[in-house]
Amino acid sequence: MRSPIIQVRDLTRVYHSGSAEVHAVSSITLDLYPGEMTAVVGRSGSGKTTFLNLISGLDQPTSGEVIFDGEPLHSMGETQRLRLRQQKIGFVFQSFGLLPLLTAAENVGVPLRMRQLGAAERDARVTEALSWVGLLDRARHRPYELSGGEQQRVAIARALAVRPQVILADEPTGQLDSSTGRRILDLLRRLVGEAGITVVVVTHDPQTMDEADVIHELRDGELIDTRYKSARRSVAPLN
C-alpha cells in the first residue's frame, strides 16, 4: 500500500478573541494520498482555510501534528517550512493572486525567482507550465488583458512551475461561471491523472465535489464525514 503524502494527527487550532476561545480546527485526524484529488468542504467558518494553512505550514497548530512526506512540520524551523512550501507545494487562490503589472509569464516565474533558479531553467519551466495550461500564446499579456478563467489558469501554471508534490487550492472556481469553472476542474483533474500531483481543494462548489476522489466534510472545526468516490490510483510523478 502507498504511504500518505500528508498525515494529520489530532490537529487542533485555537484562537483567542478577548476571553473567548475559538476552536477553528478541532482534533482532526486524516490522511491525504498521492495522486488523488481531495475536496475539503463545509460552510463558511467550518475551518477549511485554517486546515489548509496548517497542512502547508503557514500556520502552527495549538496541538497535534502534520507530517508532510515523512517530515513532521512541528519539528521544522520557519526557514525549513518556507523551503518546503517553495519546493513541494503549489498554491492556487480564489482571487488568483496575480501581480497586475507583470505579464502571465512573469507571474508564473515569481516563485522560481524566489528559489533563485537560473534564467535558462526558469524560462524553460515557465514555458512548460504555460504550455500545460494552454496559455503559451498569452504569455506576454497582463492580468487585466485576460479573462477570469485565463487568470486562474495562469495561477495554476504558477503553482505547476515549481513542480510540486501537492497543490493546495482555496476555492479555485469561486469567482468563475459554471462553464469556466468546469474547465478549471478538468485542468486540476489532469494534474492528478497525468502529472501524478496530489490536489487538495477547499470548496463549496458541487462540481468540484463530484470530481474529487475523496471528500472530507468539516463542521465547526471538526471532521464529521469522509466519503470516497473512487479507488486510489498509483500515478507516476511529474519529472
pLDDT in tens, 12-28: 999 988 888 889 999 99
Model confidence over 51-70: pLDDT tens digits? 999 999 999 999 999 999 99
Q: What share of the chain in percent tops pLDDT 70? A: 95
Mean pLDDT of 182-198: 88
Q: Where are the alpha helices (DSSP H) in 32-172?
A: 48-55, 78-88, 104-114, 119-132, 148-161
- With cut-offs at 50, 70 and 90, classify the pLDDT of residue 158: very high
How far apart are alpha carbons 99 and 104 in whole angstroms? 9
Mean pLDDT of 100-128: 93
In the chain the domains, ranked by start, together with CATH numbers, are 35-44+78-228 (3.40.50.300)
Q: Model's pTM, two decimal places?
A: 0.87
End-to-end CA distance of the chain: 22
- CB neighbour class for 137 (10 Å; exposed up to 12, middle 13-18, buried from 19): exposed
How far apart are alpha carbons 215 and 48 in whole angstroms? 12
Mean pLDDT of 177-187: 87
Q: Would you state the pLDDT for residue 1?
A: 63
